[in-house]
Amino acid sequence: MNKRDLLAIAEDIIDRKYPDNNVYLDILSTPDHEVFNLFPGADMIRDSYFGRGVHLCTICNGKSGRCSEDCKFCSQSAFSRTDAPVYPLMDKQGLKGVGLYACETPINRYSIVTTGKGLPGREVKSVAEAMAEIDPSKIGKCASLGILQRHDLRLLIGAGVTRYHHNLEAGKSYFYQICTTHGYEERVNTILLAKELGLQICSGGIFGMGETNKHILELAMALRDLDVDSIPINFLIPMKGTPFESLNNLTPLRCLKIIAFFRYFLPAKEIIICGGREYNLGELHPMVFHAGASGVMTGNYLTTEGRPLEKDLDMIDRLEFVIRGK
């Protein structure tokens, strides 16, 4: 498809006239040398819903390593042999420390993330107690604690947490190629329960794990059907000691194409570029917003260094975007 066709598709999408799935597969099949043709339409859709405002979030790795699950991409899995840090749940000061810092910055949302299939109830209580001491007028509060029960989620809500993060990671038909120790439906059910209780949902996936374009479309359709609020897009960093340590399926242009596809497919949703953005995008990293992204995760990731807030603020300013108000 040429730029004119893609702009016409973007205009239709803004007018809520959506193409069929074959068009979206065509977008994902765009040759790398034509990826920049996707940007004017993706940029126009993003601008229609979010203007020049950029969402910033940051996380704390509140409990690390020795995860019982066998996710092949993850350096924290007990099935892998990596140098990922291993430590129990932080104390209250540690759990809230990054959040208190973020309150004094332009960052919009703070999340505590923990390793494991699901955080034990007594530790969920500790996370909730830490979150309760962070001023919700200064920052949005999120948690990513795995597969939880109703009473656990209610504890978080009582502490002012308004969003729950729980990635699907991949489309259902590909999920069992990356994880076998728990089911895809368990993830879906956790999202549905969190939604039922009134929490916003942040859910997306990791790309570069060998998935096909059809698998990416399948994931996007699941996220659309679940009506999630925010979609984190992660790009695989092949970690030594994991089953995916030798994978090399991504190019910077492939990453930008995936971002653009999600903007065309889920035009009104927050699309946040997270893990692996600098590693995989390199010098093309600032193009994420023109490809359709409306936010980035700033600061460190779980077991790898991220991008300092100051560098992100400088990049956003140079591109003449602005940080969204709190």
Region of 208 (left: φ > 0; alpha: ψ -120 to 50; beta: rest) is left
d(CA 114, CA 148): 12
For 249-294, the pLDDT digits (tens) are: 999 999 999 999 999 999 999 999 999 999 999 999 999 999 999 9
Question: Sign of dihedral through CA atoms 228, 231, 234, 235?
Answer: positive
Residue-level pLDDT at 307: 84
Q: Please name every residue paired with 56 in a beta bridge, in sequence order, or none if there are none.
A: 296
pLDDT one-digit tens code per residue, 166-181: 999 999 999 999 999 9
In DSSP notation, 91-157 reads -HHHHHHHHHHHHTSS--EEEEEE-SSB--HHHHHHHHHHHTTS-TTTSEEEEE-BS--HHHHHHHH
pLDDT of residue 88: 94
Per-residue confidence band for 195, with pLDDT thresholds at 50, 70 and 90: very high
Strands 163-165 and 140-144, bridge-based pairing: parallel
Name the residue type at position 122.
R
Q: What percent of the chain has pLDDT over 90?
A: 88
Whether 124 and 95 have beta carbons less than 8 Å apart is answered as no
Biggest CA pair distance of the chain: 56
What is the distance between the alpha carbons of residues 19 and 12, in angstroms, rounded to a whole number? 8
Q: Which strand (E) or helix (H) includes residue 297?
A: strand 295-297
Q: In total, how many domains does the chain have?
A: 1
pLDDT in the model for residue 304: 61
Q: List the end-to-end C-alpha distance of the chain, in Å, as a whole number.
A: 39
Average pLDDT, the chain: 94
Residue written as token pair 């016409």: 8
Cα separation values, 96 from 90, 129, 184, 274, 288, Å:
9, 9, 31, 21, 30
Domain residues for the domain of 125 are: 3-323
What band does 230 get if pLDDT is binned at 50, 70 and 90? very high
Quick one: pLDDT at residue 301? 63
pLDDT (average), residues 213-222? 98
- pLDDT at residue 302 in the model: 63
Measure the CA angle with vertex 65, ends 64 and 68; round to 5°. 125
Crossing angle of helices 121-131 and 150-158, rounded to 10°: 20
The CATH number given to whatever domain includes residue 84 is 3.20.20.70
pLDDT in tens, 61-101: 999 988 898 989 988 888 888 887 889 999 999 999 999 99
Of 76-90, 138-152, 252-266, 296-310, least confident by mean pLDDT is 296-310
Q: Beta strand pairing status for 322-323 and 53-63? A: parallel
Instruction: State residue 30's pLDDT score.
Output: 96
- Range name among 41-55, 139-153, 291-305 with the lowest pLDDT average: 291-305
Task: Render pLDDT for 7-65 as a digit per residue (tens, 0 to 9).
Answer: 999 999 999 999 999 999 999 999 999 999 999 999 999 999 999 999 999 999 999 98
Q: What percent of the chain has pLDDT over 70?
A: 98
Listed residue (263, 273, 167) closest to 222, CA to CA: 167
